[in-house]
Structure 1
Amino acid sequence: MVHSSSLSGTANNHHSQENNQEISPITPDWPAVCQQLLYRALPCTSVQTQPEFVVKKPGRIPRSLKVIASEATSGQNAQISYGPLEFLDSLLTPIAEGGEKSRYLAIVGKAGSGKTIFLQHFAQGLWQRHQEGRAHCLPIWLNPSRFKHRSIKDYLFGPWLQEAMTLNGEISPATWQDSLQQGLQVGQFWLVLDGVDYTFTDPEQMSAAQGSLTWLKDSLAEVPTTPVLLSCRPDTRRNDPRGLAGFTRYQLEPLLYPRDVEIAIEDYFTADRPAPSENQGQPNALATNLKEALANPLLSHLRPYLLRPRRLMLCCRFWRDQPRDFPVSSGALYRKLTKAFYLWQSEWASSKPGQQEELAQLLGQLAKQMLGENQADHRPLSLAEVEKIFGKDSPLLRSALQLGWLMPKTAVRKGVWERGYGFADDTFRDYFAALAIADWHFFLDIYRHQYRIFAPECRGY
């Protein structure tokens, strides 16, 4: 627990008795405050957890985690890749040399591609460099899903500042507010927004031509001198392209087999994870065996499913528990990935086996409906459509959202923004759909002239 004295600035308690100089008021020690709130806010990812082992810190930086500048904004540096700290230093170096900093930055990547992990290392690296005197900005980690109907400024001066004030009750609310306002004006903070896709906003605040990214960008106008780094998914940007206008965009590099995949496996099974004394040295053997299993030519068709860090980490997780024969089909692989997913999520969102089976059935019906409509426009299913399957005010729907199977999505259809729900990971959507499809006519409907068997999303069934 951090003592209140460590969260207040150095007060000038010395005063001259000759002129009765007043004691200076206590002010927030923002480095300590930002460190504590960063620690509280960091989510646990699949890279950070093991059965009965959860850490609230990024730990070792995955060597395969890299970003490259998007072609539209990269110029001659299109091929330069950066790890989280290399990326941070590339931004700080021009500032140290008297240049301008890039104020708005976006990391774009698909579900489970490593966006959260990248931002975590960026935020902690920024705080460390501030302590070393190499950066003048402090990270403020924000979870857009908690914004509700608030603008960024309202959220900062509302829930975020209220949480900060609990760290030191000796500082008056007015002093907290004035200090935060001054810090935002002089660029003392760097906002890190993880998962803009999960921004919940009041529909009444938005026009029919405004999406979450556009709303967020308009909200940033209230803190014009504050740099921002956010993450989002490609479909969010595709559905709201105006929202990232003026942002310097970067994208997560896809994992390549065998180089990146084997490096990620080695990083997962490392000695910094606790293991029983009788199993000392076993993690390296697990990594070697898993790499050998994936190198089997008969399993080459499964490798593309493991080219995103989250799925690969879930694979490492089930391999750690059951290091036996590797699955030989995509369905068998995803059964194990799904079980590992529930074990990972159970560390903060538990679910019972019976509930998991019921969820699988409902998610299968939902996925089948989405694939049946052949939604090339990525239109989300409306709440009414989802409630036809789950029921109104369904606890299972809330569970699917909490676990991360489903997520809120928005898309433009005929010039109007539609809000609803979609699957967070398209391959898990396809897996649940496959479980629900019991009739081959779904793929080859000669009466309706629908030949889904040739559709890209149906490959692998």
Structure 2
Amino acid sequence: MPTSDKKHKFILTVEELDKVQQRISQSKKLELSNEREKEIWTQEYLAKQANVSLSVAKRFLNRKTPMGESSFRALTQVLGFQPNEFSALQSLKDVDNKIFNWHKVCCDRLDHWKKRNVDLVIGDNRLDFGNIDRTFVPLDFLEKVKKESSQSKNTSKQQTEEYKSTQRYERQQDFLDVIIRDGLLEGSSKKYGQRLAIIGEAGSGKTTLLLQIGYELLKQPNNLVIWISLKEVRDKLEYLREYIIDEWLKGSNIAKNEWEQEFDNKLKDGCVWLLLDGLEDIPDKAHIVIGQFDVWLSKPKIALTCRKNRWDSDKADFASFGYGIYECVGYNSDQPSNFIDAWFGDDSDSANLLKTELQKANRHRINELIKYPLHLSLLCSIYEESESNFAFATNKAELFDQFIKRQYTRKITVDRFDADLVKSLGELAIKAIDTQSQLTNAEVKEKLGDRLDKALELGWLKPIDEYEQVYDFLHDSFKEYFAALAIDAWDFFLPRDHIDKPVKEKCYRIFEPVWNPVVLLWSGISRNPNTNNQSSLLIEKLIVFDDGCAKSNDYNNLGHFIALDIAFESNNIVLFDNILDQIIEWAFGTFNQYSKKREWYSISELAL
């Protein structure tokens, strides 16, 4: 790596400054934003092209203060100079190769995560970043706006804050151009440019987009892009700086003292980018974890992903950090066809047949399911081998059921479907969700035994760390599905003996956001009478739930909304209609035939 700034002063000589200023005066901008803009390079334009801050570009040109090597290199390179043209660089040995290795390490890291978190989930490299625009999920930029509301004409108006979409990005390149290339540079006019949060449902393309942001940032060789899967550093969350220095480059040929010095230089120059995947995997106090970056990053540049329900529940804690929020809103009715064409490639007949089927009038439910890339990729994978005898799933649980059975017959051709393997995976999934931790090698081997190899071959489990031998599921959605398969009765989610106060040493998983996807999958797993009866019993318990707070009974309100989702997933039309009628009455009030007046009910903010 480059040697320390203590030994080398990266600053222009008088002669070199003359040469640089002459080159700037001769350079013309590649693009002009308007007719009045001048073609000549300005200090602001030089900083933008080199991907450094304006203050660093000014230091480069005024010769008063030395700067970091990485910024010095970026500024000279963008002007078309070679390293040997500057005295500050001539004494450094093997600089070009080391800079290349530095950039390569970041690229290799992203490639590693792409292979494990995108290719593995989507499958068989059917989609690549070359045609990623065809699979891009539209993004809404959410801004906080003030809203006046009142319950009735007898109550005064109150101002509340809510997030509202102010712009939509339909093409990925538009997002990258406007937000990454322009918005993340210091001095940009784009609001929330240097910190952004990508939120959305499971499988909505958050990780894929974060990876693409990383590749875009690495087009500037001066950037250091650090990808961190928060799920895999849970035990290091309070010491992320130490983790980056001590472990992030584990296995590379870069000496720690050289890496640490250069890392500090890049921190000072504002060239370090943190890509944090999976904020929802931090069990609690996530705002404290991300708040530590303000302490040791002078100019924090962060992009992170988070499930929407977790972000919404903690948004008050995150508000002070000033993140620009971008929500993956799902495909509209026309966009899945682009994804399908990209998936099937040259097999246009299969693509056209599937698109024709999806356009039929009775395909509303499956079209609602495939609004996100993960679910659409599952459908394409299933349909690819089952065209002649294909039944479309009616809920998410059926879609996952079809996929794992298709995957099993494709990869394990000699055995009948291993129900015991699925049950054991479900028990492991419950443990992982309950403890919010990864699965150790000992836990997995104790539960699966000889079946571990089969689970790995199927891709349902994957090793996380070759050093510590820990495992995780293919995707959180698969973990939730396997967990749902292992749950027999409704009282797994809600204590059977609850009356009006918490039952000691019993879990109320039904009200924990992390279990919400599981209960919905559980509700839709089967249409057999036993499963439907279990769902109905849970619904009935929720709509009469008493939390002991007579004045508000917030959890009863929340229980109605959860019960509505369960009734929908389990196809219980009668209960769905009854619950919906109750919620509408709460929202709009009812007319009292005796008093001849409209009576209003309020719904807790918690339930909303």
- Aligned partner of 2:139 in structure 1 is 67
Contact 2:280–2:310 under 8 Å retained in 1: yes
Q: Structure 1 residue 173 and structure 2 residue 259: aligned?
A: no
Distance in 1, Cα, partners of 2:539 & 2:370: 37
**CA contact under 8 A between 2:127 and 2:342: conserved in structure 1?**
no
Change in Cα spacing, 1:46 to 1:454, as seen in structure 2 (3 Å) is: same
Paired amino acid for 1:459: F
CA 198–355 in structure 1, closer or farther in 2 if over 3 Å, else same:
farther
The alpha-carbon distance between structure 1 residues 12 and 162, as it changes in their structure 2 partners (threshold 3 A), is farther
Correspondence 1:216 to 2:290: yes
Structure 1 residues 39 and 296, CA, compared in 2 at 3 Å: closer, same or farther? same
Q: Note closer, same or farther for the CA distance 1:56–1:320 as it changes in structure 2 (3 Å cut).
A: closer
**SS at structure 2 position matched to 1:266:** helix
Matched position secondary structure for 1:148:
helix
Per the alignment, residue 406 of structure 1 pairs with 479
Q: Contact 2:133–2:172 at 8 Å: present in 1 too?
A: no
Number of residue-to-residue matches in the alignment: 392
SS in 2 for 1:226: coil
Larger RCO (CA within 8 A; separation ≥ 6): 1
> Are the aligned partners of 1:44 and 1:54 in contact in 2 as well (CA < 8 Å)?
no
CA distance in 2, matches of 1:156, 1:312: 35
- Tell me how far apart the structure 2 counterparts of residues 255 and 421 of structure 1 sit (CA, whole Å): 24
Aligned with 2:344 (options 266, 269, 279): 269
2:524 to 390, 410, 431: 431
Letter matched to residue 35 of structure 1:
C
8 Å CA contact 2:341, 2:348 repeated in 1: yes
**Pairing 1:26-65 to 2, within 5 Å after superposition:** 28-29=99-100, 30-44=102-116, 53-54=124-125, 58-63=129-134, 64-65=136-137
**Are the aligned partners of 2:185 and 2:194 in contact in 1 as well (CA < 8 Å)?**
no
The question of 1:442 aligning with 2:530 is answered no
1:176-206 deviation digits (Å, cap 9, x = unpaired): 2101121122111221122222347xxxxxx
Please state if 1:309 is matched with 2:309: no
Match status 1:298 vs 2:370: no
1:318 aligned to which of 373, 382, 386: 382
Look up the SS of the partner of 1:297 in the other structure.
coil
1:109 and 1:22, CA in 2 relative to 1: closer, same or farther beyond 3 A? closer
Over the matched positions of the two proteins, sequence identity in percent amounts to: 17
Q: What's the CA shift for 1:214?
A: 3.4
Is the 8 Å Cα contact of residues 13 and 23 (structure 1) preserved in structure 2? no
Could you tell me which residue of structure 1 aligns to residue 35 of structure 2? none
> CA 1:161–1:443 in 2, change beyond 3 Å: closer, same or farther?
closer
The alpha-carbon distance between structure 1 residues 355 and 195, as it changes in their structure 2 partners (threshold 3 A), is: farther
2:540 & 2:521 partners in 1: Cα distance? 27
Q: Contact conserved, 2:141 with 2:166, CA < 8 A, in 1?
A: yes
Moved more, 42-51 or 147-156: 42-51
Pick closer, same or farther for the CA change 1:425–1:186 going to 2, 3 Å.
Answer: farther
Looking at structure 1, the residues matched to 241 and 260 of structure 2 have their Cα atoms a distance apart, in angstroms, of 12
Distance 1:321 1:34 in 2: 37
Mapped partners of 2:278, 2:240: distance in 1: 14
What SS does structure 1 have at the residue aligned with 2:304? strand
Matching residue of 1:124: 215
Q: Deviations over 1:337-363 (max 9, x none)?
A: 434357779999xxx865555535884
Q: How does 1:150-169 map to 2 (within 5 A)?
A: 150=236, 151-163=239-251, 166=252, 169=253
Per-residue deviation at 1:25?
Answer: 7.5
Q: Find the aligned partners of 1:145 and 1:46 in 2 and give their Cα distance.
A: 16
Q: Matched residue of 2:327: which SS?
A: strand
Contact 1:88 1:126 (C-alpha < 8 Å) held by counterparts: no
Indicate which of 275, 284, 305 corresponds to 1:231. 305
- 2:194 is matched with 103
State the alpha-carbon separation in 1 of the partners of residues 539 and 186 from structure 2: 69
The Cα of 1:261 is off from its aligned counterpart by: 2.0
Match of 1:142 among 228, 231, 244: 228
Taking a change above 3 Å as real, the CA distance of residues 173 and 329 of structure 1, as seen in their structure-2 partners, is: closer
TM-score (norm: length of structure 2): 0.53
Offset at 1:57?
5.4
Partner Cα distance (2:348, 2:304) in 1: 35
Query: Which stretch of structure 1 is more off in the superposition, 36-45 or 290-299?
Result: 36-45
Corresponding residue of 1:4 = none
Q: Distance in 1 between matches of 2:215 and 2:405?
A: 28
Cα 1:440–1:233 change in 2 (3 A) is closer
Tell me what 1:373 maps to.
none
Distance 1:75 1:69 in 2: 9
Q: Which structure would you say has the larger Rg?
A: 2
5+ residue gaps, structure 2, are 1-69, 74-81, 146-161, 438-442, 462-470, 484-501, 503-508, 544-559, 571-608
Deviation at 1:124, TM superposition (A): 1.3
Q: Which residue of 2 aligns with 1:251?
A: 327
1:310-459 correspondence runs (5 A)? 310-328=374-392, 330=394, 334-335=397-398, 337-341=400-404, 355-360=418-423, 363=426, 381=434, 394-395=447-448, 401-404=472-475, 405-406=478-479, 422=515, 428-432=521-525, 434=526, 438=530, 440-445=532-537, 455-459=564-568
Q: What is aligned with 2:175? A: 87
Q: Which runs of 5+ in 1 are unaligned?
A: 1-8, 201-209, 272-282, 368-379, 385-389, 409-413
CA contact (8 A) 2:141 2:325 kept: yes
What's the TM-score, normalizing by structure 1?
Answer: 0.68
Query: Structure 1 or 2: larger helix share?
Result: 2
Give the aligned CA root-mean-square deviation in angstroms. 4.9
Partner Cα separation in structure 2 for residue 212 and residue 87 of structure 1? 26
Return closer, same or farther for 1:83/1:194 CA change in 2, 3 Å cut-off: farther
Pair 234,342 (structure 1): closer, same or farther in 2 beyond 3 Å: farther
Q: Distance in 2 between matches of 1:86 and 1:438?
A: 50
